[in-house]
Amino acid sequence: MLGRLVGEQRPFNRLVNLLTLQDRSVVSYVESETQGHLDRELSSVIPMVRAYHQLQAVSLSQTDTVDMIHQHRKGTP
């Protein structure tokens, strides 16, 4: 998976905030240009949580990300 290009996987079309409440329930909050939408329905929140966890599984560590950025910046002004 490390060989994939940045942005190749994009499970979300907009910025999604996943919030875990004190009672351990999870909600999603998505904003558009004109409004925000808070969703508490498990049938729509769970797929977003699953997609987020899948992104975490294939993402580089913070150290590896910094190293990759440094490698890409070499030779550029």
Residues 25-77 have pLDDT tens digits of 999 998 888 999 999 999 999 998 998 888 888 888 999 999 988 988 886 65
Task: Say if residue 1's pLDDT is above 50.
Answer: no
What's the maximum distance between 2 C-alpha atoms anywhere in the chain? 51
68 within domain boundaries: yes
45 within domain boundaries: yes
65 within domain boundaries: yes
The whole model's pTM is what? 0.65
| Confidence at residue 51, expressed as pLDDT on a 0 to 100 scale | 87
Q: Domain range holding 38?
A: 16-73
| Confidence at residue 58, expressed as pLDDT on a 0 to 100 scale | 81
Number of domains in the chain: 1
Structure tokens at 32: 């558009």
Run of H or E including 16: strand 16-20
Residue 4: which pLDDT band, with cuts at 50, 70 and 90?
Answer: very low
Q: How far apart are CA 22 and CA 59, in angstroms?
A: 28
35 within domain boundaries: yes
Task: Count CB atoms within 10 A of the CB of residue 55.
Answer: 13
Query: Between residues 6 and 56, which one has the greater pLDDT?
Result: 56
